[in-house]
Structure formats: C-alpha cells, structure tokens
Structure 1
Amino acid sequence: MAPSLPALFSLEGRTAVVTGGTRGIGAHMAISLAEAGADIVLIQRDESNTSTKTAIEALGRKASIFTCDLSSASSVSALTPQILASHDPSILLNCAGIQRRHPAAQFPDSDWDEVIQVNLSTVFTLCRDIGAHMLTRPGPHRGNIINIASLLSFQGGLTVPAYAAAKGGVAQLTKALSNEWASKGVNVNAVAPGYIATEMNDALIADEARAA
C-alpha cells in the first residue's frame, strides 16, 4: 500500500529551530511544522509571549524557548552552542525580521545597521552554525534550512533600502549555501512572500495615499 499523504510529509522525530515564531508568518509556520510532527525550538527576544509554545504543546509536540537578542552579533554567536547542548536540530527556519522606513537620503546609519544585522547577518550566522551541525548528522539526508526572503528581494520597494538590501542578500545567501551543501545532504531554500496582513505591514496596508 502506498504511504498516505501526511506520511509522505511527516516530520516525526525531527527538531526545528524557528526564529520569529511569536506572531505572523513565523507563528503559523512553527505551528505547521509541529502539526507535521516536529518538535520546535523557538528563538525569542524574551519569554513574555508563550502563545506559539502553548499552541505547539496542545498538538502533543515539545516546544522550548531560547532567548536571544537577534540585533546583537555576540548574542547570536552564542546561541547555537546553547541549543546543541540539549537538541539535535535537522530543520532551521529563519523568519525573524524587522523593518525601518525612511527616505533613502535621510536613512540613519543606526537603523541600517540594525536591519542588516537582524535580517541578514543573523540569518547567515544561524545558517553557518546550525548548518555545520547538520553536516555532521547521519546521511544521506542531513537537514533542511528555510530562509524567509521577500518580494523585495527582487523589487526594491519604497523608503526601505536596508530591508530590500537585506532580503536581496538572503536570496543570494540561500543560493550560495544551496550550491555548496545540497550534494552533502543539507537542502537550503527560501520563500519570498509578498505583502501579508501581519503587524509589520498594518500601517502600510492602511495607507490610502500609497494605495491610490
């Protein structure tokens, strides 16, 4: 008998590390991974929001929270060893992101640096560190990395040069890692959503002048 459709896509016995899982796209994706059978490691700024953890546990899956300031390079560099001390992740979902809007001619260095750190440098660091762990796992299939890129990876947007640059970088980083690791059993892919009705886009969606 052929396996059922859920069995074909089962993640039973696997552990996924998810950033940006407290709300929006990231929360839905984390819960979907759990629905497919994965246990979830949630990377959060703090533990004040436990709604995703609670939803995952209600599915009968394990969920844990590791706190990390994704705008701090040193905090991100310290994260993977903490995770690997108690977990064996074979899935990484990089969904965390921030947005800063200013006309390009007045865009502050501090906002540029923060967006690039959270939206691109953190993605690279976690891909590198957790990807290195995946490469040590038994083959032939060793792991999956999913990076959340954006429509703005391809279309530059308005007043968001740092976000567009970071998401363009995520798209190219994904290709580079896929080229290097696919033959070694680690698949690296990106999803590039358009405008989704999440908290990040509420003001933009409500801007009638922009929509006109």
Structure 2
Amino acid sequence: MSSKREEELLECPICWDSFNIVENVPYILWCGHTLCKTCILSLRWAEVKLPTLPVQLPLFVSCPWCQLLSFRLVWKGNLRFPRKNFFLLWLVESANGNRVRYCPSSSCDHNFVLPSNRSTVSRNGSSSSSEYLHETPRSSPRDRQRTNHSLLGGWRILTLLMNLTAKFPVVIIFMLIVLYVIPASAAILVLYLLITFLFALPSILVLYFSYPILDWLVREIIA
C-alpha cells in the first residue's frame, strides 16, 4: 500500500503520467497543487466572469481544483513561473535510485555478466582459471519500510508547508484589515461624527432661538 501510495504521489493528477526530471517535470502552483509541465502549459488564461462578458487575465491561470489564481510566465521557451516542485523531483530521483538498487533478481540477472573459467595472468606469467560470482544486492523489508515511511513523512511535512504558504496571502490580508482598515475606518467615522456635531450644534441653537426673536420683531414692527 505504501509503494502504491508513493507511485500515486509521483504522477500528474491530470494526465496521469509519471513525473521525471526531463520532460514531465513537476511544477507547483501558488495554491499548493502540483502539475506536470505539459499540463501547466496547456492551461488557459484565467477568466473573471463579469455580468456582461468574461474577461481574461493574462499571465494568470486558475487551478483546476480550487480555482485559485497562479502566475505563469514563459520566457524564451522556458517556463519561469510557477516554480518546480523540488521535493517531488527529489522523490523521483530517490524512487529511481531505489528501483535501481532494489531491483528483483529476475530483472537484474541480465545486467550482470557471470564470467566463468576466466583466465588471469599471475606474476609468474602462468594463467589460472577462476569464477567470478556477482551477487545481486537485496534490501531487507525493514529498509524498504523505513524508506517509504521517511518519504511519506517528508511528503506530509511538505504538504503542510504548502498549505501554510498558500494561506499566507490570506493571513496578510486579514492582518491588514484588522490592523489598518478597521481602525482607519473607525477613526474616520468618529472624526466625521465630531465635525458633524460641531457644525450641527450652532445650527440647532440658531433654529431654536430664531422663532422667539422673529416673533418679538414682528410684534415690534406691528406696534
């Protein structure tokens, strides 16, 4: 189950091709999802749906799962952004190394030559026959389990870091709103109410005393 899980992690979730260090290089989006280079290049520009018509955003693509925007830049035929997923590249290299190291005897027998009756020249000039036996290196199940557990543990740590990195802009926006936007809006509202009160109080006093004064003036004019 662990080897099957590891193989699933080393495949592109869209085209289901295995990642490698030559063609299907894994690239990680801002949201934390990883795609191969071919699928990254095949994504269309992101679109913003307005009431009238959709508007495309150049240099931005949307994730096929979470629809979050990611920056994509192709310069002189090379994909500059997003960046490569170096952890998956390390997993690919480690998996390839383990396959070469821990290959079964049936598949490795043809790679090793078992010379027999090979003549070697001794110091005295006489030839003697000897057999060279090449044993296939084998790994114990404990070593394989340790390797798989270390790879899966590293993958979980990287996934957690990617999730935190993907949420980092949201945290910054939250801090800006809490520390700057809300206090500034409250200060502007208090200042507006203070100015309104300072200008409204004399107007209220004028309106309050204007009626008795006008009444007295009218009586004086008539008299």
What's the TM-score, normalizing by structure 1?
0.25
Which structure is higher in helix share? 2
Q: Which has the higher contact order (CA 8 A, sep 6+)?
A: 1
Instruction: Give 1 or 2 for the bigger CA radius of gyration.
Output: 2
What's the TM-score, normalizing by structure 2?
0.24
